[in-house]
Amino acid sequence: MLAFSFNDTLLVATVLFSIGLAGVLVRRNMVFMLMSLDIMLNAAALVFVGAGARWHDATGQVMFVLILALAAVETAVGLAIIVCLHARGRPTLDADTGNLLRG
Amino acid sequence: MAEILLPLLVLCPLAASLVVFISAGRMGARAIGTVACAGVGISAVLSIILSVMLLSGPVAGGLQVTLWPWMRVAGLSADIAFTLDRISMVMVLVVTIVGLLIHVYAAGYMRDDPGIARFFGCMTLFVAAMLVLVLASDLLCLFIGWEGVGLCSYLLIGFWYDDPANTSAARKAFYMTRMGDVALLCGLLLLACATGSLRIGSVLASVADGRLPASGVNVAAAFILVGALAKSAQIPFQAWLPDAMAGPTPTSALIHAATMVTAGVYLIARVHDLFAMAAPVMALTAVLGALTLLMGACTALVQSDLKRILAWSTISQLGYMFLALGCGVWQAALFHLMTHAFFKALLFLTAGAVIMRAGHEQDIFRLGGLRRAMPGLTAAFVAGASALAGLPLVTAGFYSKEMILSGVWHVHFGLAREWTLSGHPLWGIALLGAFLTALYIFRCVFIVFCGKAGTRAAGRTSRLMGIPLVCLSVLSLFGGVIEMPDTLPSLHLFSALLDPGTPLSHADEPVWLVLAGALAPLAGLGVAWVLWGRPSPVMREIPGQAGVIRPARTGRGMDVLYDRVFVQPFRLLAWLTRLDIPGHAITGTGRLTRAASAGILGVRAGLLDMLAMRATGTARWAGHLPGLFQNGRVRWYAAWIAGGLCAGLAMAVLS
Amino acid sequence: MNPLPVLVLLPIMGGGLAWGAGRMWPRASPSMRDASWWVVLATLVVETLVLAMATFSHRAHAGPWPGHFAMPWIPAMGIAVRLDMDGLSLSLIWLSLILCFLCVLLATRQATAHAGAFRFLFLATLTGVIGTFLATDLFVFFFFWELMLVPMAGLIAAWGHEDRQRAAMKFFMFTQGSGLVMLLSILGLVITHYRQTGVLTFDYFTLAHTSLSPTGAMLLMLGFFIAFAVKLPVVPVHVWLPDAHTQAPTAASVLLAGILLKTGGYGMIRFNVMLFPDAAARFAPIAMGLGVAGILYGAWLSSAQDDVKRLIAYSSISHMGFVLLGIFAGSRMGMLGAVMQMLAHGLGTAALFLIAGAIQDRLHTRDMHRIGGLWAAMPRLSSAGLFFAMAALGMPGLGNFTGEFLVLLATWRISPLLATLAATGLVLAAIYALRMVNRIFLAAPQADTRPVTDLPSWQMAVFACVMAFLVLLGLYPQPFMIFSAPLPLPATAMAGPGGTTP
């Protein structure tokens, strides 16, 4: 079995996190922002799993499942918000259009 | 007794002034005239009573009343206090008695003027201020009166304010006398700084003790001299007095002949001890006085306005008084002040009556032959003119002028090491001035009263106006016998009155001095008769002035003499006075000030406005800058959060 | 009951009541005496009674001066509400009250809209002024100094004339900016004292005994001086004054010229000269030079004006130059002369502004070329105007001459040249005063003047009272000089309730 050291895991997680962060900041489409957000969550979860493997603790994998559920819920809510906005007459996926307080 | 009477002397005209001002428009002209004359009349009576009290008391000192402490701080103590000693007694009598006569005259003269309340309010206020000036025993209290008379003079010159020429003449008078006042104030500051008090007695005592350095004495005396010169319209401040004739004639008589313009003479006589220690200033005074008397006489000779002739004559006679002061014979100056008040007031009042009856005609060449229409006024004017000229023995003016001339002859000014200025050239100028005085005033007499009739004269002079003229004529003719020169029966009442300590007689005085002084006015009278008095007069005007009226009577030697000796210098002097250099200097300074002020205002407005605009613009722009951070974009906020978090973590980890 | 805090707080409370009364009972034309006017009058009467009580009753208390009040406020920072009253502050408060009465009686026509708010701001300014004159805790002094500023700026900006926004902005920026410099000085002084003694206090009497290095003292004094110099005003930083005086409504002009300028003089006496005597003595030549420059510059520019109120404003700069000269002349004579000049100038210039306001109400113009010949139509107003113009030019026998003579004498002891230059300002004063009198009252009337009504008798009686007071100041000033002399600081430091030792 190819054993990944903890450091490598952290490195991969960092890279994934940066990709996700860059995606959130750079992309204007709200669906893509949600996807990048999911990538960030998954990167954090990866750190948990790697830590669990490092210290031989099953809590890491438990945290992964928790985070997975959290990501799912959050994506669902986010998409629901987008659908609501569409329904209320703002049919746009552009994140920058919400810059006036009148919403 | 004196403590009540002395303040009452000042309070009566002041109260009359307040009554007249407050009830303006509600009292009739007669009532106003009565109130004003009553105020001054009570003052006159009180002054006579107080004079008797003073003369019957001890010789030295005087009647002193301290009313209240005015300013007492460390370094200065000034009180409102009045002193009646012999010098101020003479002045008080002159001011109140001549003032009363002029007020009575004015009650008739101004009867029909709608502003009579304002007129009498200002006139009585003037009398009150003049009395404060004369009676003050503190130089600062004197300064109150000094400026007060300047204020009243301003109000009265510009009395008929509808004509802008009158108001600008009033302003010119005020500005020029204000410059002198500031100089006087500087002199007072110097004296107060050195002696700590401005009481006249203590100031003179400190000066005599030598507490002031010699330069300080000279500078203080010079400042006081400048103040007196401005108030008395001497060179270089003479330009305001002829223009001041724009006021009503009683004003000209009271203020610009008898009293205010003599305030300078009085002040210098008061502090004559200070001046006696400042020899250069005395020399300067004498020289300026001599120049002024000559210039005034020459200019009066070429005037054609009746009141202007009298104005220039006043300037010239004041020059005599300053000459006397500069030569140290201040008693002569005061004597001449007194007689001058009599005859100049008489001349002005008579001129006013003449002008009024001739339909407000002031040009002497349009009046003429009036002696048939107004015999009484002619007599009064001739009496005044004789006194002014100083016709020997019968007029008061002769005695006062004689006293001045003898005083001038005997003086010696030690100026620098070998340089002494003897009094003889000044005496010569004074004698020439006497000749010219007789010449110009009898020119005026002959042109106005003799010869062919000019303007028609109407009406008659009321008794209210006539009685003061009679009184003044008597005083002008007989008021001088109390002081006679030594060659005649020696009667030195006046100088003995003023200063019993120093007798003024000169035992070594040559007799021909008096004779010369007697002959000069007679010579002037004679020349005037020849030129203007004969039925077919030699000339109507000075040839230089009129241009081409040179009579073809070249046979008469007098024409040639007149032309050679008089015309050319007169042209020069008349031209010089018409130049009016100080007047143009003032106007030019005023214009320069206005132009510079407008320029500075423009620069300041432009510069500061630009700075203010820039400052607000910058503030607004700088306010916008943080606004850019609040753009509502979620990604922007998220980016900043992430960046901040990274920076915070870096700081925490790396430090 | 201690009268001092009542003196400070009563005007603003009265003003609040007046505002409320103005909203509840508005009149159609507020120039009639409406409810808020009566409230203001009542407030002023009660204030005068309290002030009389403060003047004449003597209570035993812990302060060094005749009046004293102290209450802790922020003990952690050494700040207490501390009010002290000596003759100088008392006489200036009397002057403020007299001027407020004059405004209320004579200058009510111009607040046409929102009269209640106008009167509230007016009384709020009075509160700030009285607080400034009484405060001896430096923080409280600064608080009231800034409090004076805001209602006045509001008065100018809302009820002023054609260019009021710019004038109010200039006034606000200049005074506020210089006030900030003074705040730095105050903080500097407090911190220096703390470093020396370990006691953090803002108390004036305690801070006076701080020992400062010469440079430090000079810097701190300059910080105070800049604030007071803008207020007095001193010539380079006088720029706000002509616009503010010209554009303000009459009552605000009277307050501004009569009182607010005097707070600058008061501050210079109380803080510059008495807190930092050595630094003030070293700065004196510059200050006296600025004073003479102010006298001459103000008079010179005044002679060139065509707007009546602007002319009077520049003449105020000239008169305040005498005050600056007297304060820094270094002798008691100069100080007394400066105080007398402040009192006399406050009365005289306020009266001139009231007259200018009366003319503007009737003729709707301030341009002197368009006013003319008022003597025939309004003899009472014209004679009052002539009297106060004579006071402004320094006629002996009136109050201004007393102050000016004492200042000139004090200056002569130090430098005869400066005194002579200052005296020539008197000639310039004559020029602008007579120019104004001539143009407005004596020159030919313009063709299109509508018929104007003269002052009613009761208003003339009020002016006559002011005239009598000026004559009293001129001829019998001795009691006033003794009464309003500033008291020296006590020799030992007083322990006030505000000092704390952390």
Mutate to test the interface with B, among A14, A30, A99 (most CBs of B within 10 A): A99
- B-chain residues near C436 (CB < 8 A): none
Contact status, residue B322 vs residue B328, Cβ threshold 8 Å: no
Residues of B with CB under 8 A from a CB of A: 631-635, 638-639, 642
Which tokens sit at B585?
Answer: 């200097």
Q: How far apart are the first and last CA of chain A?
A: 54
From residue A16, alpha-carbon distances to A22, A46, A65 in Å are: 10, 9, 18
Nearest to C418 by CA among C304, C325, C309: C325
- A-chain residues near B634 (CB < 8 A): 95-96, 98
Whether residue B604 and residue C333 make contact (CB cut-off 8 A), yes or no, is no
Mutate to test the interface with A, among B628, B633, B640 (most CBs of A within 10 A): B633
Helices (H), B410-449: 424-449
> How many separate domains does chain A show?
1
Residue C255 belongs to domain spanning: 3-483
Q: Pick from B631, B635, B642: which is nearest to A95 by CB?
A: B635
ipTM of the complex: 0.90
* C497 domain residue, yes or no: no
* CATH (domain of A31): 1.10.287.3510
d(CA B412, CA B422): 5
Which tokens sit at C449?
Answer: 């003047």
SS3 category, C136: coil
What b/e readout covers B381-406, taking b as 16+ CB neighbours within 10 angstroms?
Answer: bbbbbbbbbbbbeebbbbbbbbbbbb
Contact status, residue B280 vs residue B558, Cβ threshold 8 Å: no
Whether residue C478 and residue B72 make contact (CB cut-off 8 A), yes or no, is yes
Helices (H), C232-267: 240-247, 250-255, 261-267
Residue A68 belongs to domain spanning: 8-90
Per-residue DSSP letter, A93 = -
Query: What is the pLDDT, as a whole number, of residue B172?
Result: 86
* C488 domain residue, yes or no: no
Whether residue B147 and residue C379 make contact (CB cut-off 8 A), yes or no, is no
Per-residue DSSP letter, C487 = P
d(CA C115, CA C31): 9
d(CA B632, CA B627): 11
* C348 domain residue, yes or no: yes
Instruction: Give phi and psi for B333, each to the nearest 5.
Output: -60, -45
Helices (H), B410-556: 424-449, 463-478, 493-498, 511-528, 543-546
- Does residue A88 belong to the interface with chain B, where contact is any CB pair within 8 Å? no
Query: What is the pLDDT, as a whole number, of residue B319?
Result: 93
Instruction: Give phi and psi for B329, each to the nearest 5.
Output: -95, 70
The whole-angstrom distance between C365's CA and the closest CA on chain B is: 21
- Does residue A96 belong to the interface with chain B, where contact is any CB pair within 8 Å? yes
Instruction: Give phi and psi for C268, each to the nearest 5.
Output: -60, -40
Q: Pick from C390, C406, C427: which is nearest to B151 by CB?
A: C390
Write out pLDDT tens, residues C337-396.
Answer: 999 999 999 999 999 999 999 888 888 888 888 888 888 888 889 999 999 999 999 999
Whether residue A21 and residue B631 make contact (CB cut-off 8 A), yes or no, is no
SS3 category, B66: strand
As a residue count, chain A comes to: 103
Query: What is the pLDDT, as a whole number, of residue B587?
Result: 61
d(CA B383, CA B471): 11
* A1 domain residue, yes or no: no
For Cα atoms B258, B259, B264, give the angle at the middle one, nearest 5 degrees: 120
Q: Give the DSSP H/E element, type plus range, for residue B65.
A: strand B63-73
C372: nearest CA partner in chain B: B162
- A-chain residues near B632 (CB < 8 A): 98-101
In chain B, where the domains are located: 283-427+439-493, 538-579
Query: What is the pLDDT, as a whole number, of residue B509?
Result: 63
Contact status, residue B165 vs residue B242, Cβ threshold 8 Å: no
Query: What is the pLDDT, as a whole number, of residue C28?
Result: 59
pLDDT in tens, chain A (103 residues): 457 788 999 999 999 999 999 999 998 888 999 999 999 999 999 999 999 988 888 999 999 999 999 999 999 999 998 898 888 877 778 877 776 666 4
Mean local confidence (pLDDT), C399-424:
93
Contact status, residue B37 vs residue B103, Cβ threshold 8 Å: yes
Mean local confidence (pLDDT), C23-48:
77
The whole-angstrom distance between B154's CA and the closest CA on chain C is: 10
Whether residue A28 and residue B639 make contact (CB cut-off 8 A), yes or no, is no
CB-defined contacts B:C, below 8 A: 120
- Does residue A93 belong to the interface with chain B, where contact is any CB pair within 8 Å? no
- Does residue A49 belong to the interface with chain B, where contact is any CB pair within 8 Å? no
* pLDDT higher than threshold 90 for residue C264: yes
> Which residues have C-beta within 8 Å of that of residue B626, sequence separation ≥ 6?
none
3-state secondary structure C20-82: HHHHHCCCCCCCCCCHHHHHHHHHHHHHHHHHHHHHHCCCCCCCCCCEEEEEEEEHHHCEEEE
B168: nearest CA partner in chain C: C438
* A18 domain residue, yes or no: yes
% residues pLDDT > 70 (chain C): 93
Contact status, residue C65 vs residue C96, Cβ threshold 8 Å: no
Give DSSP secondary structure letters for A33-60: HHHHHHHHHHHHHHHHHHHHHHTT-THH
As a residue count, chain B comes to: 655
Query: What is the pLDDT, as a whole number, of residue B572?
Result: 62
Nearest to A38 by CA among A52, A54, A27: A27
Place of tokens 């009497």: C205
Which tokens sit at C468?
Answer: 């009598």
Give chain C's radius of gyration (CA, Å). 22
Taking every pair of Cα atoms in chain A, the longest distance, rounded to a whole number of angstroms, is: 57
Average pLDDT, chain C: 87
Q: Pick from A25, A99, A101: which is nearest to B638 by CB?
A: A25
* Banded model confidence at residue C495, pLDDT cuts 50, 70, 90: very low
* A99 domain residue, yes or no: no
> How many separate domains does chain C show?
1
* pLDDT higher than threshold 90 for residue C402: yes
Helices B86-109, B29-55: axis angle to 10 degrees equals 160
d(CA B309, CA B296): 9
Per-residue DSSP letter, B414 = E
B193: nearest CA partner in chain C: C413
> Which residues have C-beta within 8 Å of that of residue B605, sequence separation ≥ 6?
none
* C177 domain residue, yes or no: yes
- B-chain residues near A98 (CB < 8 A): 632-634
Contact status, residue C201 vs residue C499, Cβ threshold 8 Å: yes
C473: nearest CA partner in chain B: B70
Whether residue B193 and residue C396 make contact (CB cut-off 8 A), yes or no, is no
The whole-angstrom distance between A4's CA and the closest CA on chain B is: 26
- C-chain residues near B600 (CB < 8 A): 301
Q: Around Cβ B503, how many Cβ atoms within 10 Å?
A: 10
* C502 domain residue, yes or no: no
Nearest to B550 by CA among B541, B558, B439: B541
Place of tokens 């501004």: C256
Mean local confidence (pLDDT), C67-73:
84
- C-chain residues near B140 (CB < 8 A): 396, 405
A29: nearest CA partner in chain B: B635
Nearest to B85 by CA among B134, B133, B24: B134
Torsion of CA C474, C480, C482, C483, to 10 degrees: -170
* pLDDT higher than threshold 80 for residue C226: yes
d(CA B133, CA C60): 49
B630: nearest CA partner in chain A: A99
d(CA C320, CA C318): 5
* Banded model confidence at residue C494, pLDDT cuts 50, 70, 90: very low
Contact status, residue C310 vs residue C245, Cβ threshold 8 Å: yes
A25: nearest CA partner in chain B: B635
* Banded model confidence at residue C261, pLDDT cuts 50, 70, 90: very high
Query: What is the pLDDT, as a whole number, of residue B485?
Result: 57
Whether residue C475 and residue B154 make contact (CB cut-off 8 A), yes or no, is no
* Banded model confidence at residue C182, pLDDT cuts 50, 70, 90: very high
* pLDDT higher than threshold 70 for residue C137: yes
Contact status, residue B183 vs residue C424, Cβ threshold 8 Å: no
Helices (H), C303-398: 308-327, 332-363, 374-377, 379-392
Q: Around Cβ C413, how many Cβ atoms within 10 Å?
A: 17
Write out pLDDT tens, residues A64-74.
Answer: 999 999 999 99
Whether residue B635 and residue A21 make contact (CB cut-off 8 A), yes or no, is no
Query: What is the pLDDT, as a whole number, of residue B61?
Result: 66
Mean pLDDT by 10 residues, chain B (655 residues): 85 92 82 92 92 77 83 85 87 92 91 88 94 92 93 92 88 90 94 87 86 87 94 85 89 85 91 88 91 88 86 92 90 89 92 87 81 85 90 81 84 66 83 91 88 72 82 81 56 62 58 80 85 66 40 34 54 51 60 82 82 87 83 84 92 88
Q: Are strands B63-73 and B76-84 parallel, antiparallel or unpaired?
A: antiparallel
Please list the residues that pair with B68 across neighbouring strands: B80
The whole-angstrom distance between A25's CA and the closest CA on chain B is: 5
Place of tokens 């005592």: B205
Chain-centroid distance, C-alpha B544: 30
- B-chain residues near A96 (CB < 8 A): 633-635
Mutate to test the interface with A, among B629, B630, B635, B645 (most CBs of A within 10 A): B635
